[in-house]
Structure 1
Amino acid sequence: MAPKHRVIIDTDPGVDDILAILLALSADPEELQVELISVTYGNVEVEKCLRNVVTLFHQVELEMAWRKSRGRPERFEVLKKIKPMVAVGAPEPLGDQLMMADYFHGIDGLGGTHETHPHLTPSETWRNMFIDENDAVEEGERLFTPSRIPAHEEILRLLRENEPDTFTIVAIGPLTNLALAAAEDTETFLRVKEVVVMGGAVGVPGNVTPVAEFNTFADSIAAARVYALTSPKPKTTMPPDPPSPPGMDPSQSPPPFLSPYPEKLSRQLQVTLFALDITTTHWLRRGPYNNLIKPLLVQKSPLSEWVTAFLHSTFTKMESLHTGHEGDNVGLSLHDPLCIWYLISQSHPEYTMTLSKAEDIRVETSGQWTRGMCVTDGRDRKRFDEEEEIGGKDAGEVVGDSGGWLRRGSGNRIRRAVVSPGRDVFGVEMCKRIFGLV
């Protein structure tokens, strides 16, 4: 049976990114199939993010062997169907200053486990996989296929070689890779079925500034450009070009990734947003996790040892940063895994999520204090079609409508996850799937 979703995961691992990828790889093959993991910078530098992906596959391989040696189902059945490609993407944002979240995720993105638990990290020879076609590891010995072309080009290749609406992109890091793909070949990028984004804070405070969520803040220009493709008229919400770098002639043409989109496009991009508004309500608590994982640690499950190592560091960090997080009640918000759960839950009606109607959500790219802010229009004002006239003037010229917020033909069209009936049980359900306890 064909999978319900063929998936590209764009990621910057990161603790919750790793949990999201593990959840995807532990899904039933009929639920989803991961075909590309495109890596970007974000929580840490792109090379460290790549190391974390390689380490994940190393641990999954050890876990499958451990389970087989004990006569247990090996799990991770999707990896027996296809070996996902892993491609390295953008090392920095399009125009914003590079910022990372290593203060939370640790210097290596996984709470420092590469130093504290070096026996859990694969040999450094993994670097050769992405450089040398004749690297020492045979193709048949890996659970993934390393790519030697940029991640955004791999995204375009998959979209180009398959029918429209074949792939869903789950974007759980800064949107730089997606923005690069959209700029290079907009029509090919629009062949994607849906882009599921973890990002933004719409009606709640941000987590990196008072108004901005990290992924959106990390490359606000990329987010704004991707979201503009949801608009009937993308130029109405495209961000202004950032200032030219020192020493560059301002009259020179902008780089290709900042060029305007074509005037007419064949379709609008479908974006489903998982903002902090919903992701921060889904927790994995220390107490329930420890109770669930203890038997596996006693039995020396490799995957449980690795995950527990970086979650222990993360729970400790949460306890030091936030009030109300103490003892067994310390929790990690499951931002990124929720995007994967959205796809899996479509096969389980009891967990189906509720989405909003299309909203005009725009990203601020140039504010002194508001970079990365998700802006919506809460005014009690009438909306008008482009052809309507008000007081003898076309709606496009209406005083007080700076930015075209009141025109139905302008603005973005983004669906947002607003209700999840499984939020109180998701953390435990996720772990049961990852560790084969269901």
Structure 2
Amino acid sequence: MAPNKIIIDTDPGVDDILALLLAFSALSEELEVLLVSVTYGNVEVQRCAQNVVTMFHQIEKEMAWRKANGRSIGFETLCKTKPVVAIGAEKPLADQMLMADYFHGRDGIAGISETHPELSPAETWEQIMASGNDVLGKERLFTPSKVPAHQEILRILRENEPDTVTIVAVGPLTNMALAAAEDPETFLRAKEVVVMGGAINEIGNITPFAEFNTFADSIAAARVYALSSPNPHTVMPPTPPAPSGQQAATPPPPYIGAYPSKLSRRLNVVLFSLDETNYHLLNRGEFNTLMKPVVASASPLATWIDAIVSSTFNKIETLEEDVSGDAVGLQMHDPLCIWYCITGHTDSKWKIKRNEDIRVETAGQWTRGMCLVDRRTRRKREDDILEEIVSDTGNWLSNHCGNRLGRCVGTPGRDVFGSYLLTKILEL
């Protein structure tokens, strides 16, 4: 069986790092990671890029340590295919900039660049851009690109057959929206877009209603999801106003315009919302039990992960009212998407609810980033009339309007994922 080819669009981020490590720890017949496209989000984009550099630095040290100690090197997919790393959006399309450094730390990885400077590489992303791919006569584990991330996404989709590349988007969807706006037909060649985002029946994690990634660029999310609609113009977000005191841009930015009226196909989106990701936890007690012997063995990667995750457990303990000690849990939002990419098409325990009309609020004063569904029991209209009908404001009841998203509603097991993740990454 051919491996699942994937692009990972990410804003590292503690759980983003764990997601990337899980992807690179996959077997070569499970995954092939073609591109890591970096966006702003948890912290600013240059800091996110540096976290990717640090991660590859730690993987390289780990591979050398395993080889020296007669252990399996692992990281099969990384050894087989060197991914491109490209830097993308620095800010949302139009929303006010927001970061999650209050949780992830100012560096995005629990502040360990300050508390554990010995775990950070001396080389920066800027130095890599200046020096090229060769470093001290040896190849890096990745290929740095000077091309904007959304254009690298389009290049890979053009160079591969349709329905062979999955995009895993675990940050704000700005890079996705830019790619879709520049060349929607090429973007629609994706096999599926697996998105960590949204809250349907669950409360939000950044506002009472919104999940962080969707809130961070609600317009981008709305524009990407619109491509799942039979008629994208029925769910496109309104044109955002020009900033106070400024005139509207002429010509407008590319994300302002509508998609072509006739598209060859609809985008296949699979949403991993907080309704599912909130309940896949890596608990402190389980983490310490699994990590203690491998940290004691001087594994460089285990030492790095232990520093990041232990610090994050401490942060969670200060934020939550009724959880402490071994019961403190880190929600595995982003790694869950990678688990799906590894096993989702071979394990029948994965459950995806298809064709949900989930829409994103972009203009609400208090509800930006909220995911809305129609909970009424009204009968759907079979007509193909696309004009607004008075009795159906928003065309919620038309079979020809609205988004058509897939959403994960079941996994192989909420209680097994934490041990699966660590076992896979650390070859336990």
TM-score by length of 2: 0.97
Structure 1 window deviating more from structure 2 (93-102 vs 136-145): it is: 136-145
Q: Is the 8 A contact 1:7 1:32 kept in 2?
A: yes
Spell out, residue by residue over 1:367-404, the C-alpha distance to the aligned partner (whole angstroms, 9 max, x if none): 000000000000111111234xxxxxx67453221111
Q: 1:421 aligns with which of 408, 412, 423?
A: 412
The alpha carbon displacement at 1:252 in A equals: 3.3
Q: Say how many residue pairs are matched.
A: 428
8 Å contact 1:31–1:347 — kept in the other structure? no
Aligned to 1:61: 60
Task: For 1:162 and 1:50, locate their aligned partners in 2 and report how far apart those are by CA, in whole Å.
Answer: 26
In structure 2, the partner of 1:378 is: 375
The answer as to whether partners of 1:396 and 1:407 remain within 8 angstroms in 2 is no
1:436 maps to 2:422: no
- CA, structure 1 residues 131+179, in 2 after alignment: closer, same or farther (shift >3 Å)? farther
User: How big is the alpha-carbon RMSD for the aligned residues of Structure 1 and Structure 2?
Assistant: 1.5
Stretch of structure 1 that moved more, 421-430 or 263-272: 421-430
The counterpart of 1:364, out of the listed 361, 367, 370, is: 361
User: Does structure 1 retain, via aligned residues, the 8 Å contact 2:49–2:125?
Assistant: no
Partner of 1:108: 107
1:203 match:
201
Q: 1:273 to 1:229 in 2, by over 3 A?
A: same
Matched, 1:326 2:341: no
Matches within 5 A, 1:15-414: 15-133=14-132, 137=135, 140-250=138-248, 252-346=250-344, 349=347, 352-387=349-384, 396-414=387-405
SS at the partner of 1:104? helix
* Cα drift, residue 131 of structure 1: 3.9
Whole-angstrom distance in 1 between the partners of 2:229 and 2:212: 24
Partners of 2:249 and 2:281 in 1: CA distance:
50
* Structure-2 separation of matches of 1:11 and 1:125: 18
- How far off its partner does 1:357 sit? 2.4
In the alignment, structure 2 segments of 5+ residues that lack a partner are none
CA distance in 1, matches of 2:266, 2:2: 26
| 1:21 aligned partner, one-letter code | L
Residue pair 2:388, 2:394 contacting (<8 A) in 1 also: no
Deviations 1:329-348 (A, max 9, x none): 10001000000011112365
Q: Give the conservation status (yes or no) of the 8 Å contact 1:68–1:74.
A: yes
SS for the counterpart of 2:32 is strand
| Residues in 2 aligned to 1:232 and 1:100: alpha-carbon distance in whole angstroms | 34
User: Deviation digits for residues 310-351 of structure 1, max 9, x if unmatched?
Assistant: 11111001111112321011000100000001111236536x
Tell me: CA distance 1:381–1:129, structure 2 relative to 1, closer, same or farther (3 Å). Answer: same
**d(CA) in 1 for partners of 2:233, 2:345:** 37
Is contact 1:10-1:169 (8 Å) kept? yes
- Amino acid in the other structure paired with 1:69: A
Structure 1 residues 397, 199: CA separation in 2 closer, same or farther (over 3 Å shift)? Answer: closer
What is the TM-score with the length of structure 1 in the denominator? 0.95
Which residue pairs with 1:2 in the alignment?
Answer: 2
**How many angstroms does 1:125 deviate by?**
4.3
Give the aligned residue type for 2:260: P
Partners of 1:384 and 1:395 within 8 A in 2: no
CA contact (8 A) 2:92 2:174 kept: yes
Measured in 2, the distance between the counterparts of 1:323 and 1:348 equals: 39
- 1:391 paired residue number: none
The question of whether the paired residues in 2 share the 8 Å contact of 1:17 and 1:172 is answered with yes
What letter matches 2:367 in structure 1?
A: T
Alpha-carbon distance between aligned partners in 1 of 2:124 and 2:222, rounded to the nearest angstrom: 38
Residues 415 and 171 of structure 1: CA distance in aligned 2, closer, same or farther (over 3 Å): same
C-alpha change, 1:267 and 1:139, in structure 2 (3 Å) is farther
Cα distance change, pair 139–17 in 1 and its aligned pair in 2 (3 A)? farther
1:279–1:333 contact (8 Å) kept in structure 2: yes
SS at match of 1:357: strand
Q: State the alpha-carbon separation in 2 of the partners of residues 257 and 132 from structure 1.
A: 33
CA shift for structure 1 position 268: 0.1
Q: Which runs of 4+ in 1 moved over 6 A?
A: none
Assess if the C-alpha contact under 8 Å between 1:87 and 1:148 holds in 2: yes
- Give the 3-state SS of the residue equivalent to 1:336 in structure 2: helix
Q: Distance in 2 between matches of 1:348 and 1:136?
A: 39
CA distance in 2, matches of 1:296, 1:375: 45
> CA separation in 2, counterparts of 1:398 and 1:233?
16
Quote the Cα distance in structure 1 between the aligned partners of 2:388 and 2:13.
Answer: 46
Is contact 1:224–1:237 with CA below 8 Å preserved after alignment?
Answer: yes
Amino acid at match of 1:409: H
Report if aligned partners of 2:347, 2:412 keep a CA contact under 8 Å in 1.
Answer: no
Equivalent residues of 2:134, 2:140 under 8 A apart: no
Letter in 2 for 1:205: I
The Cα of 1:249 is off from its aligned counterpart by 2.6
Residue pair 2:210, 2:368 contacting (<8 A) in 1 also: yes
Distance 1:96 1:125, change over 3 A: closer
